[in-house]
Amino acid sequence: MKSIMFIAPPAAGKGTQADLVIEKYNIPHISTGDILRDISKEDSELGSYVLETLSSGGLVKDEITYQLIENRLKKDDCKKGFVIDGFPRTLDQAIEYGKILERLNYSIGEVFLIDIDKDVLEKRVTGRRICENCKAIYNINSEDSKPQIESTCDECGGRLYQRNDDNVEAFNNRYELYEKKTEPIIKYYEEKGVLYHIDGNKSIDEVFKQIDDIISGVGK
Ligand SMILES: [Zn+2]
């Protein structure tokens, strides 16, 4: 069956949309981060290599990542489709991923690119506040999700704080890195005719409707 993939800048709501797809279609979420973390707990040569690499902040060798992903996608729960997350991150990986899918007789399915205005993202990131106590997330730049009392959690009365990297400068860095890294991957999938632009400036439900229409074939 087919692979579903999301490409989106930081804070564009990629995780939320992936969750909605997973829930509606009852398909697994294949996260390369999770696969690596799981294998790192195994008592094997491969497990210790992955554990050492991850804990030293390094990158696991591509060949190993490919093998692990292929093994995971072979499992029965992937046969009716899946959402792949955290991979591919480079053009080389995208090309190799195509070969893996071919070997398994899966199709690339859809690659959703969530288009969203940079200033919308900046407002989301810089307005984000988190409850120290219950971890509830608010946004002081949005009427719908700002707390009723300033700096105080609606749920539990805890104090709200701002993450260190939720500032304009860190956001700009993350955004630039995203553009640079994903540009070749976007082009690659565009040329293959599997890239779908989604207007991410809309509400969560409206964004999901665009995605759902394409997956179900209505909007193609
Ligand atoms: Zn709270």
pLDDT tens by residue, 87-126: 999 999 999 999 999 999 999 999 999 999 999 999 999 9
Cis previous bond, 9, omega within 30: no
pLDDT band at 208 (very low <50, low <70, confident <90, very high): very high
Contact partners, residue 164, CB within 8 Å, separation at least 6: 170
| Token reading at 83 | 């959402």
| Distance between first and last Cα of the chain | 18
Alpha helices in 80-167 (DSSP H): 91-104, 118-127
In angstroms, the CA 52 to CA 49 distance is 5
Predicted structure pTM score? 0.87
Q: What is the pLDDT of residue 218?
A: 76
Q: Are 9 and 122 in contact (CB under 8 A)?
A: no
Q: Is residue 155 part of a domain?
A: no
Strands, DSSP E only, in 35-176?
82-85, 107-115, 128-131, 137-139, 160-161
CA of 126 to the centre of ligand 1 (A): 19
User: Which range marks the domain in which residue 122 is found?
Assistant: 2-127+176-215
CA of 7 to the centre of ligand 1 (A): 31
Q: In terms of DSSP bridges, do strands 107-115 and 137-139 run parallel, antiparallel, or are they unpaired?
A: unpaired
Q: Would you name the residues annotated as active-site residues?
A: 14, 89, 128, 163, 174
Q: What is the pLDDT of residue 1?
A: 62
Q: Is residue 143 part of a domain?
A: no
Q: Is residue 100 part of a domain?
A: yes
Q: Structurally, how many domains does the chain consist of?
A: 1
What CATH number is associated with residue 202? 3.40.50.300
In angstroms, the CA 197 to CA 19 distance is 19
pLDDT per residue as tens digits for the range 70-90: 999 999 999 999 999 989 999
Q: Computed from CA positions of residues 144, 149, 152, 156, in that sequence, does the dihedral angle turn out positive or negative?
A: negative
Contact partners, residue 22, CB within 8 Å, separation at least 6: 28, 29, 83
pLDDT band at 157 (very low <50, low <70, confident <90, very high): very high
CA of 137 to the centre of ligand 1 (A): 8
What average pLDDT does this structure show over 211-220?
A: 86
Measured between alpha carbons, how far is residue 189 from residues 67, 154, 208 in Å? 22, 43, 21
For residue 206, pLDDT over 90 is answered with yes
Which secondary structure element, helix H or strand E, spans residue 77, and what is its range?
Answer: none
Q: What percent of the chain has pLDDT over 90?
A: 90
CA of 135 to the centre of ligand 1 (A): 6
